[in-house]
Structure 1
Amino acid sequence: MNNVVLVGFMGSGKTTVGRALADQTRRSFIDLDEEIATDAGRSISEIFADEGEAGFRERESRGLERALRRDDAIIAAGGGAPLRDENWREMRSGNCVVALTAEPAELARRLNRPKGRPLLQPDVPSAIAALLPTRMARYLEADLVFSTDGKPAAEISRHIDARLPRGGLHRISIDVPGAAHEVTVGFHLANLAAQALRRLAASRPIMVVSDSVGAGRHIDPLIEALKSAGVSAAVHLVPAGEAAKELGVLSTIYGALADDGIDREGVLVSLGGGCVGDVAGFAAATWMRGIRYVQMPTTLLAMVDSSIGGKTAINLPAGKNLAGAVHQPVAIFSDLEYLETLADAEFRSALAEITKVALVADRSFVDWLSVNLVALLGRDKPAMLEAVRWAVAIKAGVVSRDPHETGERAILNYGHTVGHALERAAGFGRLRHGEAVAWGMEVAGRLSLSSGAGTPEAVRTQHALLQRAGLLANRPEVKRADLWQALRHDKKSQAGALRFVLLREIGRADYGCEVDPNLVWDTLAKVLSL
C-alpha cells in the first residue's frame, strides 16, 4: 500500500507526469491501461470493440486491484476508473490520490489524434464536453489536485512530491448516522487538509482556532498550505491548556466568528491539543446552532482520544466538561509530524489512553503494545503510525455503533471516573490527563478484582504497561475530602451511586457497574496511599 494514484481526464498528463514522479522518487511506475492491454493480449480499442465499455471496466477494476497490491508505486489510473465507487474506495484505502487537471481546450489540443481512445470518437471537443463535467466532480475529491496547463512534467512532479504525505497513510471511517466522516492518519498532512478544506468551504469563510503552542509550531505550515490551495483563513488564538476551556474564552471565539463573518456555511478548524479541540468544537456546535468543523489534533492524546467522537465541552466551577455538546467534525487529520516537538511528558501521558482502549477492546493490540512499547516511547515512526491507527480504529468502531454514549461507548470511560476526580481535586491543569487516567485505571483494575469481575492477568498486564510507560512514577497529591467530593460530582454517578467501568479480562470491559462506596474508598486509600 502507500501508493500514489494519479487520476484525471485523458490527456491530463498522468502517464508523463507519473513516469517523471516515479523517476524523481525512485518508485516503480504502473500505467493501468498498459497493464490491462498486456493482460488481455489486445489493445484498449480492441477490448472495447470485443467486450464493450462494460467489459473493459470489469478488466479495469481487476487490474486496479492488482496494481494496488503493490507497495510504494506510482499508478496512473484510467480516466474513468475513479467513477466506480468501489474503485474509488480501493484507491483511497492507504494510498494518496492525486488528480491532474487541464482546461478543455488544452485537453483537445493534446488529444487531437485520439487513436486508441474509443470514448473520444468521432469528435474530440464534443466528447470532452460530454464526459469532463461528470468526471471532474470525482477528480476534485482527490487528496491533492494539480493543474498541468503550461507546465513541464518535471516541474509538476516536483510540486507533487513536495506535498505528498510521508511514511504511510491510513484512513479510518467513523460511520455516525447523518454525520459520517474520516480520520486521516499519517505524516506531512497539511496539504491534504488544505485541499479538503478547499472542497468543504467552497469559497465560504474559514477560521482556524489554535493556542500559543500551535501558533508557535504548527500554524504557519497550515496557513501556507491553505494559501497554496487558494484558501484564505482567519486565525484566532486561545490560551494554552485547561485555561482555554472557560466561558470567557468561548465568548472570545464567538466574537471572532462574528467579526470574521463566519456564517452557517463557514468552517471552523481546531488546530491544537484536546483543550483547543474541546472549546473550538463547542463553539462550532453552538455558533448559529451548529457549523461544520475540522479537527487537526497536535498532541498524541488528542489524536487517539478527544478528537474522535464529537464530544465538545468547557469546564465549570462545579466540574470538568459539565457544559458541552456532541457535535461530530466533518473530518479529522492526525498529522504525526506534530509529535516530533511534543514534550516527553505529554507523549507518555497519552499512552494511558492508548493502553486503555487496547485493554477494554482488543487483546491483540495489548499484545502488540507489550512488544512494541519501547519503540513507541522512542517515537519510532512506524510504531507511532501503527499505534495511532489501531487506537483510532477501535474508538471509531465504538463511536460508530454508539455515537451518543447510550451503551457500549461507555467502556471508553475506563479509568476516567477516578481520573477526572483526581484532576478536579488536584486543580485543573496541575495533573496531566493521561497520568490521572492511569491512576484511575489502577483503581478500576483493583475494583474489578475486589468485586469479582476481573482477572489477575488483566490487572497485572495493565500495571506492567502503565509502569513501563512511566505513568505510575508519582502518586497524585490530593486531599481525601476533595477527591471524594469530586467523585460525587462525576457525570456518570446516578442517584448518588458510584458507577464504574470494570475490566473483565484483557480486551473486554463492562460499563455501568455500581460499586459499594466503602470498597471504592478502601481501594482509593490503598492505591493512592490516602
Structure 2
Amino acid sequence: MKIINVELGDRAYPIVIGNRAMHSKEHLERAIKGQSVLIVTNDMVGPLYADPLVETLSALGKTVQVHMLPTGEQYKNLETLNSIFDVLLENEFDRRTTIVALGGGVVGDMAGFAAASYMRGVPFIQIPTTLLSQVDSSVGGKTGINHPLGKNMIGAFYQPQLVLTDLNAFKTLPQKELSAGMAEVIKHGAIFDAEYFAWLEGNMGALMAKDETSLTDAIVRSCEIKAEVVAGDERESGQRAILNFGHTFGHAIEAGMGYGAWLHGEAVGVGMVLAADLSQRLGMLSAEEVARIRSVVQAAGLPTAPPPLGIDRMIEMMKLDKKAEAGQIKFVLLDGIGRAVIQAVPEDVLRETLQVCA
C-alpha cells in the first residue's frame, strides 16, 4: 500500500493506493466512528463491488445499506441527489452515519454533496473506481451536482475522512473510461511537472495497455500533485484554480452537448488542446509544445477537436464558468509545459482559437 496524506490540518486525510485497498479493514475501522454506513454506488459499479464491500464492513460490526444510482453524468442532478436524502431520512440515519462513495466521479461528487448537506454534515469516504476519480475528483473535497446551465455550479467543499484507491478496479474499467481518466493525468503534468509530462509521453502506450506498474506510478504522482495543490489552497481562492486547465472549454462542451453526450475526460482532452493553442497565441507556449500536448492527448485515445457547437454557443457557455468575473472569461493557460497561469483572454483571440481548432 502507498499512502499519500492530504495535509489540511484537522481535516487532513490519507489516500491509500494499492490492490484490494477498498477492503483495508485497518483504514476503514479508523475512519468509521459510528455504527451505520450507507454505500452510494451506481448500477454499473454496484454489481461488481458492493457485496464484497458490504461483507468487509459487516465484519467490522457495521450496519450497512446500499443505495444504487443510475449511471451517467446526465443523472448528476437534484432529483438523483434527493434520492440519497430519501434513503437517509426514511431509514433514520443519524449524524454518526458514514456515507461511502463507491464509484466514479459522478457518484463521488453526489455522495460527497449529500454528506456535506445531510444534518449539516456527516462523515464520508471515497472509494473511486475509475482512473478519473482516482487521480482527480476523489481528492480535494469538491462535491456537487450539475445545473442545465452549468456543470458543478451547485455544491460544497467537503473533505472525506479517507480515500481508498483500489488498483484492482482497472480489471473492469472500459477502455473509453481509461482514456477519459488519462486526460486528468496529462493535465497534472502539463500544469505542474514538466518531467512527469515527458514521462507520460514516453509511457502512454504502457498506460493505455493497463500496465499495472505504469498506472500505479501515474496515479501516485498525480495524487501527490493534487494533494500538494489542494493543501495550499483548499477552497480554490487562488492557486488551486490551475487544476482547471482545459476545463473552461471542457465544461462548455459538456453542458452545450447535453450531459452524458461526451465523457468529462473527453471534453477536458479537447479543452487542453484549445487552451494550449490559446497559450501559443498569447506568446506563452511554442508551436512544438502545443504539438506535444495535442500528440499525447491523441495517444491517450482522446479527441483533439471540439464538437460543432458553434463559436457563439461555446463562448456563451464559457461565460457561465465559475472562474468568470463580470462576464469576463478566465482561462488556465501554460507559460511553458509545467507552468500554469490564470488570466482573462481577449474575445477576439479566443474566437481565433475556436475557429482554427474546430
In structure 2, distance between residues paired with 1:303 and 1:338: 10
Aligned partner letter, 1:260: N
In 2: Cα distance, 1:252 partner to 1:363 partner = 43
1:488-503 to structure 2, matched below 5 A, reads 488-503=319-334
SS for the counterpart of 1:178 is: helix
Could you tell me which residue of structure 1 aligns to residue 8 of structure 2?
A: 176
| SS of the residue 1:505 aligns to | coil
Any conservation in 1 of the 2:285–2:334 contact (CA below 8 Å)?
yes
Cα distance, 1:452–1:203 mapped onto 2, change above 3 Å:
closer
Aligned position for 1:510: 341
1: CA distance, partners of 2:272 / 2:222: 17
**Stretches of 4+ aligned residues off by more than 4 angstroms:** none
**In 2, are the aligned partners of 1:181 and 1:330 still within 8 Å (CA)?**
yes
1:494 to partner: Cα distance:
0.6
Aligned to 1:186: 18
Given that residues 102 and 126 in structure 2 are in contact (C-alpha distance below 8 angstroms), is that contact kept between their aligned partners in structure 1? yes
Q: CA deviation at 1:439?
A: 0.9
Taking the aligned partners of 1:244 and 1:279, their CA distance within structure 2 comes to: 10
Which residue does 2:163 correspond to in 1? 332
How many Å separate the matches in 2 of 1:366 and 1:202? 40
Partner secondary structure for residue 268 of structure 1: strand
Q: Say which is worse superposed, 456-465 or 205-214, in terms of deviation.
A: 456-465
Distance 1:468 1:200 in 2: 39
Distance 1:475-1:483 versus aligned 2 partners, 3 A rule: closer
RMSD in angstroms over aligned alpha carbons?
A: 1.4
Deviation track 1:380-429 (CA, whole Å, cap 9, x = no partner) reads 11111101001011001000111011111111111011110011111111
State the TM-score, normalizing by the size of structure 2.
0.96
> C-alpha separation between the residues in 2 aligned to 1:271 and 1:457?
41
**1:176 alignment partner AA:** L
1:196 aligns with: 27
After TM superposition, the structure 1 = structure 2 runs for residues 144-293 of structure 1, keeping only pairs within 5 Å, are 169-192=1-24, 194-293=25-124
Where 1:493 maps in the other structure, the secondary structure is: coil
| Structure 1 residue 520 corresponds to structure 2 residue 347 | no
Structure 1 residue 474 displacement after superposition: 6.3
Contact 1:254/1:283 (<8 A) preserved:
yes
Distance 1:408 1:287 in 2: 30
The answer on whether the counterparts of 2:40 and 2:68 sit within 8 Å (CA) in structure 1 is yes
Matches within 5 A, 1:95-174: 169-174=1-6
Please state whether the residue corresponding to 2:9 is helix, strand or coil: coil
The code of the aligned residue for 2:4 comes to I
1:413 correspondence with 2:238: no
Larger radius of gyration between Structure 1 and Structure 2: 1
2: distance between equivalents of 1:195 and 1:338? 20
Q: Structure 1 CA distance, aligned partners of 2:304 and 2:32? A: 46
Residue deviations 1:289-341, cap 9 Å, x none? 11110000111001111111100011112211111000000100011111111
> How far apart in 1 are the matches of 2:340 and 2:131?
24
* SS of equivalent to 2:44: helix
Is it true that 1:427 corresponds to 2:258 in the alignment?
yes
Deviation (angstroms), 1:519: 0.8
- Residue 443 (structure 1) aligns with: 274
Post-superposition offset of 1:248 = 1.2
Q: Which runs of 5+ in 1 are unaligned?
A: 1-168
**Contact kept in structure 2, 1:205 and 1:261, CA below 8 Å:** no
**Equivalent position SS for 1:255:** helix
Q: C-alpha deviations, 1:132-156, integer Å up to 9, x for none?
A: xxxxxxxxxxxxxxxxxxxxxxxxx
Higher relative contact order (CA 8 A, sep 6+): 2
Aligned counterparts of 1:262 and 1:428: Cα–Cα separation in 2: 31
